Structures are given as structure tokens and as C-alpha cells.
Amino acid sequence: MTIWRSLITDQVLNYLRLMFNVRRLVHSFAYLSATLIAIAVFVLVLMLAESAVYALSGQPVSVWAMVIAAISAAFGYAPLVQSMLRALDRLFFRHQLDTLAAIRQLGAGDLAQLPIEDVETALLERICKVSYRRFAALDERKLGDGNWYAYPASAPFIEAGHADHPSDDYALCLKLPAANGEAWLWLGPRQDGRVMDAEERDSLESLAKFSAMSLEHARLTYLQSEAARLDSLSRVTKQLHSHDLKNRLHDLSFLAHHLGSGKLDEDDVQRMLVAIRKVTGRMQTLMQRVSDPNAPMDPVIAPLDVVALLQASVRDRLWPESLKLEQKHRLVKAVAGDSDMLQGVFENLYDNAVQAMQRQGVIHIETSLVDLRKSQSDGDETIETMAEIRVRDQGCGMSKVFIRQRLFHLFATSKSNGLGVGLYLSRRIVEAHGGTITAESEGEGKGSTFIVRLPLWQS
């Protein structure tokens, strides 16, 4: 086996040396041809200039004519050589990568104009085009919110943590510059099956660095746009809070005061008081959070019966008549949570489910205990038991790309009239409790399931 590998390596090296020498010979022909053409241009311009000078001054030989001819030949020589070199490379050496031309074709400027969810795929598509690769992938899983991106979508998948190991599916793995972690660009084999030489590898490394800068530029542009939208949203909600909603809150509080005067039936009064005060409290909390979605979350943690909380939230809510609910609760242990904040999370999941199903269908609500493996800093694994709440609908569903890249992000929404704030706030609330919120869907039109996991109360 070792002998065969040595023979194959020698054959590859001999082939690369041969191609290098042939390319040098072809380039020498380009320089020779350009030199001959430049001389011909010099002679032609000299003859024309001499004729013009003779016609004007009557002198058969002029130094000015020679200067004009020399300048014409000199200024045209370098562009002519470069044009001939590119033409010959395109004709005989298509496998060679022209770095400057490739950078121009990447289009860093218009890349920033694409929707943020399309940026990575568009960049990989352009890299495949300019480097003649069958497929390419971007691995950013060791960055903060990074993922695995591939073009086309059927490109081979590499498990996390295998960037330092060679892959039979990919021809090259290039490390990208990253400030807060590690990222890699995986390049598949060439479309023409040619072997990569050292010159092409150097060009690909330069191309990869430029691609990383282009991607960072596109993302920063999106963040600036998002910050501007957040500022606009804050201004609008502050105006809304200071006028219409503030007046409605005052009216509800005024009504609750009069209902407590004792003029109505006591039981009815108490029920109305409780309902009105809950509504006003939730509206105030909601407006405070929407006015600044990035405000710190400070949950008041206490033992909480999450099953009772879910049952009460379902019982007190006004549901559409054409919608049914099925509940299946197995959880018996208390969770560590803030009841008001978590009720807001569940209310938001209910709202999304009702809208996704267009107010008809079945919503499933389930609770259970799950055991999760967690890795420690020393490499050991521990088992942590958490409460799991699932809210499943039969609505429009979501694509896996949208779930992976956009869902739970600020202003990300699949609804035509949505702001994209509710799930972003829900994620921040759940994470402030030390839990997680995720989503699953088999695809568009096949419903969605939202999964909330919360830590148990440690007595």
C-alpha cells in the first residue's frame, strides 16, 4: 500500500511539473507575441507620425515621431500581454484560478443587498462558479450563532469538530478569519476532475479570505438595518403607549375601581376584577418589553406548577369556536420560573398556533419530564432532568432553513402582518430561566411544534 501511494504521489508531482512547464512555455509565447505586436505598432505609428510631420514641416525624420511611436507601443504593451495571458489561460488552462477576476465575480457589494437568509448560500454558489467546484460548504458551528451552510443543499455534510480531519468528499478545507471562534470553508472537487496545484491553492486561500470579509460586510449591513428598524419600532410603540393604549389602560383601571364599589353581585364582581387586573397587568408588561425588546430580563424565580399554569391559561382564554384543544400532562414536579413571564411565552405560542391554523383545527399541549445529556468543561457528561412543554398545531408549518436561520431572531416573521418580536422575546425569557425553546416542522403546510424546556426547582 505504501509503495502504491508513493507511486501515485510521484505521478501527481510529475504531472504538476509538466503542466507548470507547459504553462510557462505558453506564457513565454504570449510575451513574445506581444513584443512582436508592440514592435509592429511602433513601426506603424512611426510611419504615420513621420508622414504627418513631413506634411507639416517638410522634414523627413523627426525625433517627435519616434517619441510618439515609442509611447504608443509602451502604453499598449502591458495590457496586451495581460489580455493574451488571460485568453491563453481560458483556452488551455481553465483549471487555473484568476484571483482578481474571481473576486470581481463574487460581487461583495450586491451580496449585502440580498435577504440575510440567502447570503451564505449565494456566496457559496458564487465561490463554486468562480473556482469551478462541484459544491462548497461553510462551517460556522464554533461561532456564536453559526450554522452549517452548503451549496447545493445536497452537498456532503461534515460532523462538527472534524475540520482538522481530511474528508473523502471534499478536496480542500480552508480556515477563515474569525474574531470569536473558528470557521472553515469546504471546497468540493473540481468540475473537470483536474488536480489542484500549489498556485491554485494559494489563489483559493486569498479568495476564501475575501469571501469571509464579504460575508462579514453583508451581515454588518443587515445589523445596521435591523438597528434602524428597532429604533423606529421603539419610537412608534412609545407613541402608541403614551396615547391610545395608555388611555385604554386608564379606562380599565377606572372600571375596576367602580366594580369594586359593591353595586354588583359579589361573585361576578370578583371574577371581573380578577380578569380586568390580569389584562391590564399583561398589557403593561407587554408594552414595556415591546418598547425595548433588548431590555434585560429579570425573572422572579420561585417554585411553579407549570401544569396548573397551562391549564389556567387555557381555561381563562377566549378560543375560537372552530378550534379544539387536546391536553396531555405528565409533569408532576415544580419548575423554577416566573409565572407572569412564562404565561406570556405560552400565550404567544397559542397566538401563533391560532393564526397559523386560521382559527380552526386542533392544538395539542403536552407536558413531560425529559433527561438531557450535558457536557462539562472537563469532558464528562451529566444527566439533567427538565420539564418539557410541547405546543403542536396543524397550521402552515415552516421550512427547515427558516427554522435554522431565521426563527427566534428579531423581526423574523412568516406572517404578512407580523412584527417578528414575539418569539424573539419568548426565547429571551426562556433562556433567562436557564431553559431552551426550539421548533420542529416537517415542512410548509405540515404544522409546527414548539418545545419549551425548563429546569426543575431544586429544593
Q: Angle 227-230-231 (CA atoms, 0-180°, nearest 5)? A: 90
First-to-last alpha carbon distance for the chain, in angstroms, is 63
Those residues whose C-beta lies under 8 Å from the C-beta of residue 272, and which sit 6 or more positions away, are 256, 259, 264
Residue 223 buriedness (CB in 10 A; 0-12 / 13-18 / 19+):
exposed
Count of CB atoms situated within 10 Å of the CB of 121 = 18
> Pick from 361, 364, 322, 349: which is nearest to 407 by CA?
349
Q: Is the peptide bond before 152 cis (omega within 30 degrees of 0)?
A: yes
Give me the pLDDT at residue 280, please: 67
Give me the pLDDT at residue 448, please: 92
Q: Which CATH number fits domain 302-455: 3.40.50.800, 3.30.565.10, 3.60.70.12, 3.40.50.720?
A: 3.30.565.10
- State the Cα–Cα distance between residues 137 and 185, nearest whole angstrom: 6
Cell triple for residue 27?
Answer: 506564457
Sheet containing 323-329: give its strands across: 323-329, 361-375, 381-392, 449-455, 436-440
Q: What is the pTM of this model?
A: 0.48
> Pick from 124, 116, 128: which is nearest to 218 by CA?
116
- Domain 101-219 matches domain 302-455 at the CATH topology level: no
Amino acid (1-letter code) at residue 139? D
Cell triple for residue 453?
Answer: 424546556
Count of CB atoms situated within 10 Å of the CB of 413 = 17
Q: Could you tell me how far CA 9 lies from the centroid of its own chain?
A: 40
Q: Which CATH number fits domain 101-219: 3.30.1490, 3.40.50, 3.30.450, 3.40.1440?
A: 3.30.450
Q: How many residues does the chain have?
A: 459
Residues in a beta bridge with 399: none
DSSP letters for 248-304: HHHHHHHHHHHHTTS-S-HHHHHHHHHHHHHHHHHHHHHHHHHH-TTSPP----EEE
- State the Cα–Cα distance between residues 287 and 234, nearest whole angstrom: 10
The DSSP secondary-structure symbol of 143 reads S
> Pick from 240, 214, 207: which is nearest to 119 by CA?
214
Give me the pLDDT at residue 285, please: 60
Give me the pLDDT at residue 227, please: 72
- State the Cα–Cα distance between residues 127 and 172, nearest whole angstrom: 13
pLDDT (tens, 9 = 90+) of the chain, 459 residues, equals 444 334 434 554 455 456 556 666 776 776 777 677 777 777 777 777 777 766 777 666 566 667 777 777 677 777 777 777 666 666 665 555 555 556 666 665 666 666 666 788 888 888 888 888 899 998 888 876 778 888 998 888 888 766 556 678 898 888 887 767 788 888 888 887 777 777 778 778 888 888 888 788 777 777 777 776 666 566 555 544 444 455 456 556 655 666 666 666 777 667 666 667 666 666 666 665 555 566 677 888 999 999 999 998 888 777 877 889 999 998 778 999 998 889 888 988 988 888 888 878 899 999 999 998 877 666 677 888 999 999 999 888 888 888 887 888 776 665 545 556 778 888 989 999 999 999 999 888 888 999 999 999 985
Q: What residue spans define the domains of the chain?
A: 2-93, 101-219, 243-291, 302-455
